[in-house]
Structure 1
Amino acid sequence: MFDNLSEKLDKALHVLKGHGQITEINVAETLKEVRRALLDADVNFKIAKEFTNRVKEKALGENVLTNLQPGQLMVKIVKDELTQLMGGDVEELNLKGSPSVILMSGLQGSGKTTFSGKLANYLKNKKTKKPLLVACDVYRPAAIDQLHVVGEQIGVEVYSDRENKNPVSIAVAGIKHAKSIGSNVVIIDTAGRLAVDEVMMDEIANIHRAIKPQETLFVVDSMTGQDAVNTAKTFNDILNFDGVILTKLDGDTRGGAAISIKSVVDKPIKFIGTGEKMEAIDVFYPSRMADRILGMGDVVSLVERAQEQFDEEQARKIQKKIAKNRFGFDDFLSQIQQIKKMGNMKDLMGMIPGAGKALKGLDIDDDAFKHIEAIIHSMTPDERSNPNKLNTSRKKRIASGSGRTVQDVNQLLKQFDQMSKMMKMMQGGGGKKMMQMMQNMK
């Protein structure tokens, strides 16, 4: 996500590093590269030019603070302007209705049906809501089936009427059904359409008028860049939607849509999709995204994801096992499962400050834990509970059963032992000792 843009912005801002002061010459040189980086990311030329003009005005109008180098000051100004360009403050959903109705709109292939499920899952788990999904795509083959599969996967009911080919009446009936079963949020998945398809655009406008939704969201594939921004403008002219959802931000996106869509349609980005899993949905925070684009990471989001997957009861059980030296591979496996639920590994690593550069060019497999899980599953329950029993013959059997080598098994045992010692140290109040050890490792 934004890898290419981040790299080019880093090079552009590097121009000022080492300079004792900000001058019109070195600022112009820096901003020329910044503008080029934005254009390469498929940001609209006019927006890129206005952006760099604002940065230039602020940079030349500021005295360099005693504790900030010119390069640091420029990074701060660019970060602040990027934040404002992408919306400034975070925008929440309007869920005041009873039930609250959310209308999903967008192009064909934008990931609208999948994201409807993600949003339902998010509202169910984060906001403790009882959502209902309504299938109003009566054109795409198997669209209704897809929504039912998604609903079953996340434990959310789906309303559909296969005999009815009128999306407006299906949407109205879906809201009525939601009231009868006590659902307080209705998410209406409509057919994907082309902006130039007048009949389809009239249809979604009719749905909008009939149900009067609290939220109308435009779902856009972020990999389509500036085309997505232009399409958003066309949809907004007809629907006057409330917010944008950017999908597929985990892909090879240049980032132009995320950076410029707010400026073009004056509507906030409310959510982003960061993977295929139903949990791969994030509230869009402009300031955090600006940090990530500039290679500063996003520790706050990383911590929030970790907290979401934190199981207090399981943590207490593990603490007791650590205290009694009974922490085994089954416990290790459960920790891996919690990490996997946080999202794809490259996205998680990108949230760590400075990790973007270190990971450049590396292909981080989302199945990075697969071989570890294979080794553990090749152990007997007794071996998983008592790792000390793993002698040479047992290791050979485990390696053979998991399709790995004995060296791989030994490496896992070493990592497990190190992790156990660290957890034991933390458990025993050895935080200071551990900090000293880490400092000595530098």
Structure 2
Amino acid sequence: MIRSTCFPLRCVLFRFFRSFSREVRTDHVRECASKPDLTREASLYVHWPYCLRRCSYCNFNKYIPRENKDSIMTECLQRETETLLHLSQVSCITSVFFGGGSPSLADPSTIAAVLETVSKQASLSDQAEVTLEVNPTPAGRMKLEGFHLAGVNRFSVGVQSLQDEDLRSLGRDHNSQEALQTIEEARRLCPGRVSVDVMFGLPKQTAASWEDQLSKLFTVCDDHVSLYQLTLERGTQLFKQVQSGEVSMPAEEVTAEIYQHARETLHQHGFVQYEVSNFARNNSESDHNLSYWRGKQYIGVGPGAHGRFVPLGEGVVAREARTQTLEPDAWIREVQQMGHGTRRRILMSRLDLLEEVLVMGMRMAEGISHKHWDVFCPQMGLREVFSESMCVQELLQGGQLILDDRGLRCTWNGLALLDCFLPTLLAELQGQTL
């Protein structure tokens, strides 16, 4: 059992989309001729903002539609995709991910239209990974074949739990039987390319109930499993229920034990933990998510989507952090008027970029290689940044970190405690590069 007052997966859905200060940081990172693949390739994220209902724990950018806007959303997603691909001037899209919201509410023709737009603007090979998040309701399951015919070759099924009581408490609109049927159909269409998303740390969850759920999971899952710890977010129904005492959450020690047990059990079933929350066997890792963690460019399309890419032809050759307008109706108006709904553009400094490379790279079991770090920071190697720090030395000697000829990475135990010592690594990086 992990005994720690600092359990790392408290922010397992953590997105490192922080606010950058243009006034303070002016040492912008140039990404140009010497590393052409950095600016000529990108992954694409497409956000479908609508859901039929809001789950009790969710604070994502999603909306309950008052009317059917599929047609206008499709047109605007196509137009913004075209605009941002032109602006980025990427020649190759390496992967596409349709997320939300509930993108399985969209019509398969929407997915086909967006992919057609991508193919007209940039290269999208037949082998490129195209993923769609699926809400495992009967309506979602019935559309899977249509999505597959439209070009989707990987499904991410939001099972969350195989216990009906858990699903009701989370406000989900499916039951365990419907989830199992959806997984079965997804595996029929895309064998070896189905990810099952499961949450832990749920109200009233115990180590025994979690073990029972894992047993069920292994009888139906494909070759990829994502484990996400439930986190309490202000403003959600679940947060209010916990604050009022109506609902209780498992103790931190129980949650830690649940996570550790899952890691060990997945390993016994042939799954390799390649990232804090993700496990794969038979080489079924998510190419799209790996592109994030490895610091590659990505273009975000749709309400509230984030992006990181170099807009060429604007004078300064540097990566920008971009955020699209959150609210769908406002985003639609902006896309119709300007061709895109980019609400915020911030030129990233050298430190901004290196912080993201560090935070995202350390989430992977492989960590950050010297060669990879050198792509973004040729002036100062990993050893120069971290090896002289007493705090880092304590982590190395304590068995949480490894810094060797391969690069910097977490140990098996360290990966489970990443959030505890990540601030130490960031502070050392900031001290060395400011």
Measured against the shorter chain, the TM-score band is under 0.3
Q: Which has the higher contact order (CA 8 A, sep 6+)?
A: 2
Q: Which has the higher strand share?
A: 2
Q: Which has the higher helix share?
A: 1
